[in-house]
């Protein structure tokens, strides 16, 4: 009788869990014309919330967006409404940070941008996720 390979433990997460929330229609982030060159904008959401796509439990964290505007700046009320979309959305923390970065870049076409998600501990482990634009050229990730 063949032995079971016990090295392949599973957490029960599926491909559907991994992609959860990424097909959501997020509201557009509005912008306004930038008037000055070469400065940084730092936006901090210390009460960011979302939902774990597997357990349905809430995730809490701080989301920070830092960027150097090119021709457009983000309008903060629309950004706040955009971020509220995540409040009841089942999505992984890593996907949140990368999706926010993609949407910030789409809205503003910045010189550069950085999004950091600093999530509160779950099970004694906290997570900090950072994503950058432009993406590092040596990135091996599945998305461009």
Active centre residues (catalytic)? 52, 59
- A 10 A CB-CB count for 50 gives 25
* Cβ atoms of residues 72 and 32 within 8 Å: yes
Output the CA–CA distances (angstroms, integers) from residue 13 to 10, 118, 119, 128, in the order listed. Answer: 7, 22, 20, 20
* Cβ atoms of residues 78 and 32 within 8 Å: no
Tell which residue, 66, 60, 81, has the closest CA to residue 115.
66
């Amino acid at each position: 009788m063949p032995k079971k390979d016990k090295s392949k433990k599973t957490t029960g997460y599926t491909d559907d869990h991994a992609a959860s929330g990424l097909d959501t229609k997020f509201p557009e982030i509005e912008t306004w014309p930038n008037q000055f060159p070469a400065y940084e904008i730092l936006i901090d959401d210390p009460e960011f919330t979302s939902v774990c796509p597997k357990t349905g439990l809430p995730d809490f964290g701080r989301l920070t967006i830092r960027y150097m505007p090119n021709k457009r700046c983000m309008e903060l009320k629309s950004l706040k409404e955009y971020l509220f979309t995540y409040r009841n959305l089942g999505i992984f923390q890593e996907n949140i940070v990368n999706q926010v970065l993609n949407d910030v870049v789409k809205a503003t076409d910045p010189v550069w941008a950085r999004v950091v998600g600093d999530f509160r501990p779950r099970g004694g482990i906290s997570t900090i996720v950072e994503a950058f634009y432009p993406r590092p050229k040596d990135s091996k990730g599945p998305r461009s």
